[in-house]
C-alpha cells in the first residue's frame, strides 16, 4: 500500500518541484503555481486505465500496457518538448511517464 500512495503523491510533488525550481526555462515568466497545475493536470492521461480490466491493478506496470502509456505515445510526448506551444504539456506527460517507469522498476524490485 505504501508504493501506490507514494506514487500518487509523487505525481503531485515532482511537478511542483520542477515548476518551483525550474525557473524561466520551465515557467517562461508564468506563475509557478499555474505551471505546477498544468504539469499536474497531465495526470488526466491516466483516464486510459478505465479501458483496462481490472481498472486498477496495483502490480501492473502502466508503461507499455495502457494506450496513452504506450511507447509510441511516450515518443509523441517527448517530441512535444520541441514545440514551445506544446512544451509544458509535453513536459508534464514526460514527467508522468518517468514516474510511472520508476513505479515499474520499484514493482520489479519488490
Distance of CA 34 to the CA centre of its chain: 17
Q: Is residue 42 within the footprint of Zn ion (CB under 5 A)?
A: no
| 65/41 Cα distance (integer angstroms) | 21
Nearer to Zn ion, 6 or 23 (CB): 6
Among 10, 15, 19, 62, the residue binding Zn ion under the rule CB under 5 A is 62
Applying CB under 5 A, among 19, 40, 100, 103 the residue interacting with Zn ion is 100
Q: Is 103 in the site for Zn ion (CB under 5 A)?
A: no
Amino acid at each position: 500500500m505504501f508504493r501506490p500512495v507514494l506514487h500518487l503523491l509523487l505525481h503531485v510533488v515532482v511537478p511542483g518541484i520542477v515548476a518551483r525550481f525550474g525557473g524561466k526555462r520551465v515557467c517562461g515568466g508564468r506563475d509557478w503555481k499555474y505551471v505546477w497545475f498544468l504539469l499536474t493536470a497531465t495526470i488526466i492521461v491516466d483516464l486510459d486505465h478505465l479501458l483496462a480490466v481490472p481498472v486498477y491493478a496495483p502490480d501492473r506496470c502502466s508503461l507499455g500496457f495502457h494506450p496513452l502509456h504506450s511507447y509510441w505515445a511516450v515518443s509523441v510526448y517527448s517530441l512535444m518538448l520541441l514545440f514551445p506551444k506544446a512544451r509544458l504539456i509535453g513536459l508534464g506527460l514526460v514527467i508522468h511517464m518517468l514516474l510511472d517507469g520508476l513505479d515499474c522498476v520499484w514493482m520489479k524490485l519488490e
